[in-house]
Amino acid sequence: MTAPLSWFTKSFAELTTVELYEILQLRQAVFVVEQTCPYLDADGADDQAYHLYARSEDGAIVAYARLFLPTEQAPHSRIGRVISAGTVRRQGLGRELMRRAITWCEEQAPHTPIRLGAQVYLRKFYQDFGFTEISAEYLEDDIPHVDMERRS
């Protein structure tokens, strides 16, 4: 990215309605429209997550990830809904987003594994960050995925 970005990490309660709308709009533009995958993006989990996102100089949200802290039922952090806007792809923003997501998870829950469900075609991208496969391939919303984990 050549233009400076502003980064934010907020709980659901800290998001304004405008921020939430912009996040949902970006997620739907990419995951539902661009990937032609009709699925329920508003899955009821956003209120339990932290929302990491970047705004460009013009104010648009151009990168986003949903972050979950460990719970008794899931004793690992989780990164999901990793996305960058089509207008900024292939500029290293996805890598910066993942670096920030991993750092946040490690700071909030040290010595805890981090998991994610990766679209199979992005397997190498996540391996570059130390994630290894922990499941067989499976279909999620008709897209091949694999679960991956990064040990602290």
* pLDDT, position 1: 46
Domain ranges for the chain: 6-112
pLDDT in tens, the chain (152 residues): 456 899 999 999 999 999 999 999 999 999 888 888 888 888 999 999 999 999 999 999 999 999 999 999 999 999 999 999 988 888 889 999 999 999 999 999 999 999 999 999 999 999 999 999 999 999 988 889 999 999 98
* pLDDT, position 141: 83
**Distance (Å) of CA 126 to CA 8, 94, 116:** 22, 10, 9
* pLDDT, position 2: 54
* pLDDT, position 47: 97
Backbone angles phi, psi at 6, to 5 degrees: -110, 130
What CATH class is the domain 6-112? alpha beta
